[in-house]
Amino acid sequence: MGRLFDFMLPENKSPLTADSTDGLFHFINEVSLVFLIGITIALVYFAFKYKRKSEDDETPVITHNNTLEITWSVIPLIIVMVIFGWGYSGWLNLKAVPNDAYEIQATGFKWNWNFNYENGAQTLNELHVPKGRPIKVVMQSRDVLHSFFIPDYRIKHDVVPGRYTYVWFQAEETGESIIFCTEYCGTSHSDMLAKVIVHEPDEFEKWLELNGGGPSGSPVELGEQLITMNGCQTCHSLDGSSGIGPSFQGIWGREQQFTDGSTAVTDENYIRESILYPGEKVVAGHDNVMVSYDGLLSDDDITNIIEYLKTIN
Ligand code: CUA
């Protein structure tokens, strides 16, 4: 059903979570519009009706008007209570996850979203879900405050370091929807984009099976997967183009110049130090914005990453 303020909202692709939000959104806008028009008309009408007509036209002294004061207190009170009740029941709905929800773990970090599935599958900046089934996304942050927002589903929740938060939705059509980070989180906050990809249920099962089991392969392959899953390319290009950080292309054996004027040739120890203590040697022309991966990557992980970086020419 088309409504007056529909143009302000993206398409509703998860009615179970979006309907109450949309209904309330329309109600508030329509009530506001009625008052805006009513008050404007009264204002203009009174301006003409009570215009000062002569020099001795004096304003009468009015102390109060009970009927009027009660009316303009009680009507707004009723409207505000309706909005409160409606908003509260919508909030309860967004907090009450259906029992049969499919659970996916999400981690927000500067400036990517990582998703983990029950069978070990992992994706970066792509949330794969089946259609027509409630999905619960359990979220945590690795560094600072982020916020997980899917406008098409009308869900948004802060992602907080040191605690878990969650959202749920049920996509009713296949296709893609955008995921935003809506909490300012540093240099590339505006690029912290991801998407939901909704599959038919049987296609989702196939996708899951194909991607399950976690990473495997040679050290170079494992290193490549780690680089991909940690979103390193967000800041470090593979093709030589300059980004927030230096490009990975040709990084091995390259002489780096640092912001303090010193230089060093890229070797194992330099890469290891840059991963664990990124602020120690900042390449000239870049800012010290990388977070430490100390505790997030094991020694084996770092060795695999080094093996992969050696191969990027
Ligand atoms: Cu993460 Cu903004």
> What residue segments make up the domains of the chain, in order of their start?
2-54+63-95, 102-211, 219-309
- Which residue type does 205 have? E
Q: What is the DSSP string of 71-109?
A: HHHHHHHHHHHHHHHHHHHHHHHHH---TTPEEEEEEEE
* pLDDT of amino acid 97: 95
Angstrom distance (rounded) from CA 114 to CA 134 = 20
Residues in contact with ligand 1 by the CB-under-6-Å rule are 108, 111, 146, 181, 183-185, 189, 192
Per-residue 3-state assignment (H helix, E strand, C coil) for 154-195: CEEEEECECCCEEEEECCCCCEEEEEEECCCCCCCHHHCCEE
**Nearest atom in ligand 1 to 181's CA:** 2
Taking the centre of ligand 1 as the mean of its atom positions, its distance from the CA of residue 210, in whole angstroms, is 30
Looking at domain 219-309, which CATH architecture does it have? Orthogonal Bundle (1.10)
Taking the centre of ligand 1 as the mean of its atom positions, its distance from the CA of residue 200, in whole angstroms, is 30
Taking the centre of ligand 1 as the mean of its atom positions, its distance from the CA of residue 157, in whole angstroms, is 12
**Nearest atom in ligand 1 to 108's CA:** 1
**Nearest atom in ligand 1 to 192's CA:** 1
**Nearest atom in ligand 1 to 185's CA:** 2
Taking the centre of ligand 1 as the mean of its atom positions, its distance from the CA of residue 111, in whole angstroms, is 6
Cα diameter, the chain: 97
Q: Which residues contact 171 (CB under 8 A, 6 or more apart)?
A: 13, 14, 129, 131, 132, 135, 153, 177, 196, 198
- Taking phi first (over 0 means left), then psi (-120 to 50 degrees means alpha), and beta for anything else, what does residue 251 get? alpha
Q: Which residues contact 205 (CB under 8 A, 6 or more apart)?
A: 130
Taking the centre of ligand 1 as the mean of its atom positions, its distance from the CA of residue 144, in whole angstroms, is 8
Q: Would you write out the chain's pLDDT as a tens digit for each of its 313 residues? A: 578 888 899 999 999 999 999 999 999 999 999 999 999 999 999 999 988 888 888 888 989 999 999 999 999 999 999 999 999 999 999 999 999 999 999 999 989 999 999 888 889 999 999 999 999 999 999 999 999 999 999 999 999 999 999 999 999 999 999 999 999 999 889 999 999 999 999 999 999 998 877 677 888 888 888 888 888 888 899 888 888 888 999 888 888 889 888 988 888 888 899 999 998 889 988 888 888 888 888 888 888 898 898 888 8
Please tell me whether the overall predicted TM-score, pTM, comes out greater than 0.85 for this model: no
**Nearest atom in ligand 1 to 183's CA:** 2
Q: How far is CA 136 from CA 31, 119, 153, 228, 309, in A?
A: 34, 16, 13, 24, 36
Taking the centre of ligand 1 as the mean of its atom positions, its distance from the CA of residue 161, in whole angstroms, is 12
Angstrom distance (rounded) from CA 21 to CA 26 = 9
**What letter does residue 258 receive in the DSSP assignment?**
B
**Nearest atom in ligand 1 to 189's CA:** 2
Q: At what angle do helices 299-309 and 219-229 cross, to 10 degrees?
A: 100
CB 308 within 8 A of CB 223: yes
Taking the centre of ligand 1 as the mean of its atom positions, its distance from the CA of residue 130, in whole angstroms, is 26
Give the other-Cβ count within 10 Å of 110's Cβ.
23
CB 177 within 8 A of CB 170: no
* pLDDT of amino acid 87: 96
SS3 category, 207: helix
Angstrom distance (rounded) from CA 110 to CA 186 = 8
Taking the centre of ligand 1 as the mean of its atom positions, its distance from the CA of residue 10, in whole angstroms, is 21
SS3 category, 130: strand
Looking at domain 2-54+63-95, which CATH architecture does it have? Orthogonal Bundle (1.10)
Paired strand residues for 109: 112
- For the domain spanning 102-211, the CATH number is 2.60.40.420
Residue (of 197, 169, 155) closest to 10 by Cα position: 155
* pLDDT of amino acid 1: 56
Nearest CA to ligand 1 atom 1: 146
Taking the centre of ligand 1 as the mean of its atom positions, its distance from the CA of residue 191, in whole angstroms, is 8
**Nearest atom in ligand 1 to 144's CA:** 1
